[in-house]
Amino acid sequence: MKPEPLNGKRIGIASGSSRFVDFDESSGFWFGDVKSACEFYLKYFYNPWELWNEQPICRCKKLNEFIKNINENSEGFSDIPETTMMKYNEWLFKLAFKDVLGDNQ
């Protein structure tokens, strides 16, 4: 399974009577979906360039602003402004887990 953010996933739970209970899309997630979202976050943590290159669906104005800010304010990876990377990582977390956090995050 390719790492990807949670987005409108579904969950099914086997009940004690061996019946399959299906929740609507906003009520929960499969274990594999959560694992995939975690892998997505960890893969692109501190790495906006790889996110840009590997996940075209995630290309947006905000990601472009992070990359532009980093490129303009640093000469190499070691001198990237920490506040910029912290903001990027927070944005990435919200992207990866937006269905868990809800719309108001």
State the DSSP string of 8-47: S---EEE-TTSPEEE--TTS---HHHHHHHHHHHHHHTT-
pTM: 0.68
Average pLDDT on 77-84 reads 78
Which one has a higher pLDDT value, 5 or 105?
5
Domain boundaries, the chain: 12-101
Cβ neighbours of residue 39 closer than 8 Å, sequence gap 6 or more: 3
Which pLDDT value is given to residue 6? 65
Which pLDDT value is given to residue 21? 45
Which pLDDT value is given to residue 4? 74
For the segment 16-75, what is each residue's pLDDT rounded down to a tens digit? 544 444 545 444 557 777 888 899 999 999 999 999 999 999 999 999 999 998 888 877
